[in-house]
Amino acid sequence: ISSHAVSCSPQDLLLAAAFVSDAQYNRNIPFKTSPEAVRLYRLYNHWVMRRATYFFIFLNLSLALFEEPAVYPLPFLATSVLEVLCLLVFLGRLIHFAKVTLHNVFWKDTKNICIVVAILLSLTDLAVYGVLRLYGVRSIRWSRIVRPVFLINFAESRQIRRAFRSIRNTLPEITYVFLLFMFSLLMFSLMALKLFGERNLQTAEGLPYFRNYLEIVFDLYVLVTTANSPDVMMPAFDFSSWYALFFIAFVIVNTYIFMSLFLAVVYNNYKKHLKNEIRKLAYMKRRKMVEAFNLLKEQEGEQFVVKEAQWKQLVKLVAPDTSSSHRELLLRISDDEQKGFVDKKSFVQLADLLNIQVVTLRIRRHPLARWAPALYGSAPSRLLRGAVRHRAFVWTYDAIILINAIFIALDEESPYISYAEWVFLALYIIEILLKVYTYEPREFFGKTQFWNWFDTLIIFAALTATILNATLQSTMKYNSQQILDIVFILRVLRLIRIVDSIQRFQVIMNTLINIVPTMLTFGGLTLVVYCVFAIIGMELFHGKIQYFPANSNAPHALECGNPALKDSLFARGRYCKNNFNDFASSFIVLMELTVVNQWHDIPCGPAKLYFIAFHIVMVIIIVKYVFWDDFLSFFVEYSLEKSEVETAIEQKIQELGMGVQEDELQQEQLLDNMESVEHELEGEGGMKAQSKGLVFKIASKRYRTVDALLQRMFEAEIPLEDEGPSFEEILNLSPSSAVPRSPSSESAA
Amino acid sequence: ISSHAVSCSPQDLLLAAAFVSDAQYNRNIPFKTSPEAVRLYRLYNHWVMRRATYFFIFLNLSLALFEEPAVYPLPFLATSVLEVLCLLVFLGRLIHFAKVTLHNVFWKDTKNICIVVAILLSLTDLAVYGVLRLYGVRSIRWSRIVRPVFLINFAESRQIRRAFRSIRNTLPEITYVFLLFMFSLLMFSLMALKLFGERNLQTAEGLPYFRNYLEIVFDLYVLVTTANSPDVMMPAFDFSSWYALFFIAFVIVNTYIFMSLFLAVVYNNYKKHLKNEIRKLAYMKRRKMVEAFNLLKEQEGEQFVVKEAQWKQLVKLVAPDTSSSHRELLLRISDDEQKGFVDKKSFVQLADLLNIQVVTLRIRRHPLARWAPALYGSAPSRLLRGAVRHRAFVWTYDAIILINAIFIALDEESPYISYAEWVFLALYIIEILLKVYTYEPREFFGKTQFWNWFDTLIIFAALTATILNATLQSTMKYNSQQILDIVFILRVLRLIRIVDSIQRFQVIMNTLINIVPTMLTFGGLTLVVYCVFAIIGMELFHGKIQYFPANSNAPHALECGNPALKDSLFARGRYCKNNFNDFASSFIVLMELTVVNQWHDIPCGPAKLYFIAFHIVMVIIIVKYVFWDDFLSFFVEYSLEKSEVETAIEQKIQELGMGVQEDELQQEQLLDNMESVEHELEGEGGMKAQSKGLVFKIASKRYRTVDALLQRMFEAEIPLEDEGPSFEEILNLSPSSAVPRSPSSESAA
């Protein structure tokens, strides 16, 4: 059947691989198709290049730690050399990108222009600051606030950029809700002024209560965040119980109802923009797969197909680190009837197939079984391995952990208890050794064996720290506080293991792991906002508040070095260390503001505006992320249940008899299962399909974001014949236009 | 075509009406079908009976205001007579219900048993308390905490009961998350004890910091709610900046991640139970409609149908307050080809048709045009009406409102300003009079004209209060504080009107109105929880804390009458009025706890447990309601877009030429539109379809809950031939079983 015809050139194969790889990772970069550009493009997308870019982005962001006002001061020359280095790397990355993309596309893309402008601004500012510094003039390093631009705009952080775009899209509508909210706030403040302003009431601190309109507005804004909840009400409530109704109405309207409204508006907007954006991505993916197919296609009877050999070369190029057995599995799915070629319909699915994590469980013999088969297979050894596999082994160690917990809770003073610590450490190490002896080590430390890694790391870190501590103590009669603290923390962390042995908790932990990708995007956004606000805060409030140790004799030590703070709640609460004197402190203050409570005890006027701005930005991000993207994904998953491609793979795995029960398999079960397969092998001498020494398992549905789910949902709606509009059309799609052409006109092609 | 055959008896018609009415309101009560029982059942569902039941439920709940410890003391005899009255009403209602339902069903239903038990408990407790009181022994009225049972269990409050059931279903899974959370909390506390316990640190109040394990657990639990956010961190942070990492990790893990996890678990459970519950409801509805059809059906050719006359009688019975024109419209939809009968397929949709709010806009002449046509039609009158309809009229009044706002913000002292107040009042009254003169009064005060009602009520209340105040001031030289406060509030509320005249804000207000039904259920749940906790709180903490006015000479006035509170944050914050001394105060304290902030400044031991319990319950409810039910509805609406039935009605309205543009019509536009139709009528002498003087408009999609939406979604999945399982089968459906019979076996019937 297979006839090695003229076939395609290596260049075509490389180009096709670039298309498929883009489709797989949902990149929508229209690269040049010359052989040189394709090679450069593959280099551009190489993981080393991408990791390096991230490294320099974070290096650039963390420079703020070492620049004045510094946590760890470095000379100006050192930081500026580092900064120039980072900027050069960014410039290089951008030039690399320009080389592979079409010119008109490159200069149309705002993110490239943003990067160029940011690099120019940073260099100019650095030069001006350096020159002024030589002449002894101190100026402001204002360009530092553009540094997060690199994090947002480098193509690798697509998620964060999309989040920003989507927030920007939501802004106009949010603004109207915000105006309505401000109107409501001003109205309530006016009422409060009329009701309480002339009563001569006093706060608990003896200050005048609700006299000045602007102060009322601020107090009530703080009440919306609930930070000053009963305090702001008490004077009026003491005067007459009925006035409590005013505050209750205020909280219901401005906190609860407006929050709901806000969520509703964000959601409506989400609905409006997301669907089209997803549609664009889906069309782009389909288009790229079709282009790749057209490059590799050969005529076979009446249809065009891709030959098996070509297909395998392509997959090897796109995903070089998949095992050959994995490739074989994918081929068996794509070429269902083993005809030696892959048709268009199956080919188009390749990007999705590659995206499904198939865990290849190699059934390998234990290294000891190979090196010392007699010893490893002896009766005592088998008994030992049987004992370790027994449920009672897990229970024994659960009991040991519980006893350990009691010992930790007891006092440290008695020498017996510190000896017990050594006993426990020894027991845990023995457990790990026994498990490694029983299970195949490479499986035990497999990529997905989170808990095994966790246990081993914790135990060995604890061992190292304890030994280090004991050595220091006995030889130098000196207790290092840092090491002791680490020993304490590691000792307590060990107890987490108990969670792993309870079935129900494991399921919950899996749910938790599902939330990770959203959390990462959320973390990225937060980082950007924190960096910008921390740098602004440092410029505005640096040195305004100082921290003195408790027994300091400095003037105004009790007022944080600022006479204006005398008798303020801020000083009385001993908040002096909450200041903007360096980057790390600023981050901690912003963290406290994110948590919201007590943020209003801040004295001066402009600071209020700064804090309100930060609060509004964080609320928008939290609402957008923690609520929508995260929990919508559950709902979308509900309407999607299981994607078709995934089911096809599972079916094939089962058909080939290489399946391990899918999904939420317990680690123990999995290992047991493997063991039983191994026994079977030993017994039957490898006659079955399992003889290949392979078992496949589809990784549980981790790392699913709403975007991915919605995209799949939409892809299911595109008929297979529909190749989507051309690249130019897709790129020019306005976010508000629906499907660019009617699918019916397309399906005729 | 129509032949008045043997037809069905009035009894059958009544029974069919009962079925349809149940289907319309989604009641799943299997009532007896004897003529007597059907009549009783219709009485049972009469709105007067239902309102009365609600009245007595709220009367019963509000008794706590008048019982000791009372806000408004009433003699024990009075409250107990009222309570016995309420209980008798509940008993009567229950007996009425027992009369109409099947016996075995009645006693299987837990809600009926709950009510019986609650009545018995209340009566016993009341009797025991009364007797003991006669002998001078004071006991506890513990049965008061069962009072919310009536609110939950009376069939009318189906939503609240379902919410309770769904929370109960979620409890086991939530418990696991909660255990995991407690584990995490205990672990962090242990770490905190080890890290900070021996450092001899002190809090800002000079108290020992983090010494006692249980206190650490409580402090960190409070930190989860963020209520003591920076304070609890500051001593450790002052000691070493690195310790901030401990608290940051704590907040991220225990506040943000666990909150996400909690939401995820609640949602997963929701998914599991809701679908089946909805399915049950949908089958029940279908079944009832089919039963009704079978009662009324007559043979017509080859199929069974319901004759037009029967159908009309039925609709008149089910919805007596629909206009005859509305009935005509529904008939035209059900009997599309005007054949004089309604087939089964159309008949089954009747319940949904009745549920769609169709606003009948009667184009009526202005009463003045009828009573004084010459005057009303004269040139000056027409000019005036034209002016009122002009955009400039709205703008003028917007400007007046803005000027009014400035006057309100200015000081009240000057006599000119208080004269201005009269001018503004007069202007507003003139506006309302002009509008009533221009627009048809019954339309102007129509059911859906929320803002017209709002304006008129505010203005006339303000007028009354201002006149009353002026009278009191001039005749008795006395300023009533209450009346003045009300005048102030009304004066400010008037300004809200400006929102109505800005298009964008109107859209937002409509979104807001969408949230109302969920808010109501949420409010009901909150009321139940508040009542129970308020009564428990009163029994536990009554009199522990007392409020004294600022200049009181009572002993311990500064410590809220409790020497134990000396120097506590509670007393220093002047929180003495936050106590459990009466029902109203308890509610306010619970409201403050719901808002979360500062709730930890509470002194004694058992109180902590009480507050933690309340916090957990409120978090569960808020998560369940404010997040899921509310916002899921938006998503479901997204996948549903527009229900088919609704579109059918709209189409028919358009076909008949009686349509007004659908949905978000502005009030002004609507009135203008009517006006133009009126003009047309005057011109053409009523030749068109509009000549009936009727315009229909489908009310905007208000009052949609997730349940309703999901139900519609599922109904769309049932094929029309599928009559669903029998009543008994539906009632015995376990919540976990899927569809009872395969639809394919059913569709053959």
CB distance A592–B230 less than 8 Å? yes
| pLDDT at residue B418, rounded to an integer | 74
Chain pair A-B, CB pairs under 8 angstroms:
225
Q: Which of A22-26, A422-426, B18-22 has the lowest mean pLDDT?
A: A22-26
Q: Which of B167, B271, B217, B275 is nearest to B524 (CA)?
A: B167
CA dihedral of A124, A128, A129, A133, whole degrees rounded to 10: 160
- Evaluate if residue B11 carries a pLDDT over 80: yes
Interface of B with A in 614-633 (CB under 8 A): 626-627, 630-632
Residue B371 sits at the chain A interface (C-beta within 8 Å): no
| pLDDT at residue B279, rounded to an integer | 73
CB < 8 Å to B255, chain A: 595
DSSP string, A645-675: HHHHHHHHHHHTT-B---SS--HHHHHHHHH
Residue B204 sits at the chain A interface (C-beta within 8 Å): yes
CB distance A204–B489 less than 8 Å? no
Interface of B with A in 209-238 (CB under 8 A): 213, 226-231, 233-235, 237-238
A361 vs A661, residue with greater confidence? A361
**Do B267 and B635 touch, CB atoms closer than 8 A?**
no
CB distance B195–A485 less than 8 Å? yes
Tell me which range, A264-268, A704-708, B106-110, B653-657, is most confidently predicted by mean pLDDT.
B106-110
User: Burial code of A272-288, b = ≥16 C-beta within 10 A, e = fewer?
Assistant: eebbbbbbbbbbbbbbb
Residue A187 sits at the chain B interface (C-beta within 8 Å): yes
CB distance A264–B631 less than 8 Å? yes
State whether the Cα torsion B290-B293-B295-B299 is positive or negative. negative
Q: Is B226 exposed, middle or buried (0-12, 13-18, 19+ CB in 10 A)?
A: buried
CB < 8 Å to A577, chain B: 234, 237-238, 241
Residues facing A298 on adjacent strands: A305
pLDDT tens figures, A127-182: 999 999 889 888 888 888 899 888 888 755 566 777 777 777 778 878 888 888 88
Best of A174, A179, A182, A191 to substitute, by most chain B Cβ atoms within 10 angstroms, is A191
Residue A245 sits at the chain B interface (C-beta within 8 Å): no
Q: Please state the rounded mean pLDDT for residues B170-180.
A: 83
Confidence class for position B702, pLDDT limits 50, 70, 90: very low
A580 vs B229, residue with greater confidence? A580
Interface of B with A in 479-498 (CB under 8 A): 485, 488-489, 491-493, 495-496, 498
Residues, chain B: 749
Residue A575 sits at the chain B interface (C-beta within 8 Å): yes
CB < 8 Å to A409, chain B: 190, 193, 213
- Is the preceding omega at residue B69 within 30 degrees of 0, hence cis? yes
Q: Which of B190, B193, B204 is nearest to B232 (CA)?
A: B204
- Evaluate if residue B414 carries a pLDDT over 90: no
- Evaluate if residue A667 carries a pLDDT over 70: no
Residue A128 sits at the chain B interface (C-beta within 8 Å): no
Residue B183 sits at the chain A interface (C-beta within 8 Å): yes
> Which conformational region is residue A68 in: left (phi greater than 0), alpha (psi within -120 to 50 degrees), or beta?
beta
Residue B505 sits at the chain A interface (C-beta within 8 Å): yes
Work out the angle at residue A706's Cα, subtended by the Cα atoms of residues A704 and A710, and round it to the nearest 5 degrees: 105
Tell me which range, A548-562, B55-69, B170-184, is most confidently predicted by mean pLDDT.
B55-69
Between CA A216 and CA A201 the distance in angstroms is 13
Question: Between A231, A237, A511, which is nearest B573 by CB?
Answer: A231
CB distance B190–A408 less than 8 Å? yes
Work out the angle at residue A629's Cα, subtended by the Cα atoms of residues A623 and A632, and round it to the nearest 5 degrees: 110
| pLDDT at residue A495, rounded to an integer | 83
**Do B568 and B601 touch, CB atoms closer than 8 A?**
yes
Question: Between A251, A492, A598, which is nearest B229 by CB?
Answer: A598
What topology is assigned to B373-502 in CATH?
Answer: Four Helix Bundle (Hemerythrin (Met), subunit A) (1.20.120)
| pLDDT at residue B697, rounded to an integer | 59
Q: Over chain B, what is the mean pLDDT?
A: 77
- Give backbone dihedrals phi and psi of B361, rounded to 5 degrees, phi first: -95, 105
Question: Between A187, A508, A585, which is nearest B495 by CB?
Answer: A187
Interface of B with A in 380-409 (CB under 8 A): 405, 408-409
Residue B569 sits at the chain A interface (C-beta within 8 Å): no
Q: Please state the rounded mean pLDDT for residues A496-524.
A: 74
Strand order in the sheet with B303-307: B298-300, B303-307, B341-343
Distance from CA of B643 to the nearest CA of A (A): 18
pLDDT tens figures, B618-655: 877 776 665 555 555 555 554 544 455 566 666 766 67
Residue B577 sits at the chain A interface (C-beta within 8 Å): yes
**Do A704 and A633 touch, CB atoms closer than 8 A?**
yes
β-bridge pairing B303-307 and B298-300: antiparallel
- Evaluate if residue A694 carries a pLDDT over 60: no
Helix (H) or strand (E) holding A428: helix A415-438
With a CB cutoff of 8 Å and minimum separation 6, the contacts of A35 are A11, A14, A15
CB distance A485–B574 less than 8 Å? no
CB distance A248–B591 less than 8 Å? yes
- Evaluate if residue A1 carries a pLDDT over 50: no
pTM for this prediction? 0.78
CB < 8 Å to A596, chain B: 226, 229
Ranges of each domain in chain A = 3-158, 373-502, 516-639
| pLDDT at residue B83, rounded to an integer | 94
Helix (H) or strand (E) holding B704: none
B264 vs A184, residue with greater confidence? A184
| pLDDT > 90: percent of chain B | 8
Closest B-chain CA to A569: B204
CB distance B234–A575 less than 8 Å? yes
Distance from CA of B206 to the nearest CA of A (A): 11
Q: Over chain A, what is the mean pLDDT?
A: 77
Output the 3-class SS for A477-489: CCCCHHHHHHHHH
pLDDT tens figures, A371-404: 888 888 888 888 888 898 888 888 898 899 888 8
Distance from CA of B19 to the nearest CA of A (A): 33
Residue A261 sits at the chain B interface (C-beta within 8 Å): yes
CB distance B639–A639 less than 8 Å? yes
Distance from CA of B177 to the nearest CA of A (A): 7
Confidence class for position B391, pLDDT limits 50, 70, 90: confident
CB distance B187–A496 less than 8 Å? yes
CB < 8 Å to A412, chain B: 194
CB distance A230–B591 less than 8 Å? no
Q: Which of A65, A39, A56 is nearest to A154 (CA)?
A: A56
Confidence class for position B599, pLDDT limits 50, 70, 90: low
Q: Please state the rounded mean pLDDT for residues A697-712.
A: 55
B489 vs B167, residue with greater confidence? B489
Question: Between A187, A255, A631, which is nearest B263 by CB?
Answer: A631
Confidence class for position B430, pLDDT limits 50, 70, 90: very high
CB < 8 Å to A635, chain B: 267, 632, 635
Q: Which of A292-306, A385-399, A705-719, B167-181 has the lowest mean pLDDT?
A: A705-719
Listed in sequence order, the DSSP H helices in B361-449 are: 367-371, 373-376, 379-389, 391-409, 415-438, 441-444
Between CA B284 and CA B729 the distance in angstroms is 10
pLDDT tens figures, A550-609: 777 777 777 777 777 777 777 777 777 888 888 888 888 888 888 776 666 665 556 778
Distance from CA of B409 to the nearest CA of A (A): 7
With a CB cutoff of 8 Å and minimum separation 6, the contacts of B299 are B305
CB distance A194–B492 less than 8 Å? yes
Interface of B with A in 412-471 (CB under 8 A): 412
* Six-digit token string for B276: 């089946």
Closest A-chain CA to B408: A190
Closest A-chain CA to B179: A505
Best of B71, B170, B191 to substitute, by most chain A Cβ atoms within 10 angstroms, is B191
Residue A251 sits at the chain B interface (C-beta within 8 Å): yes
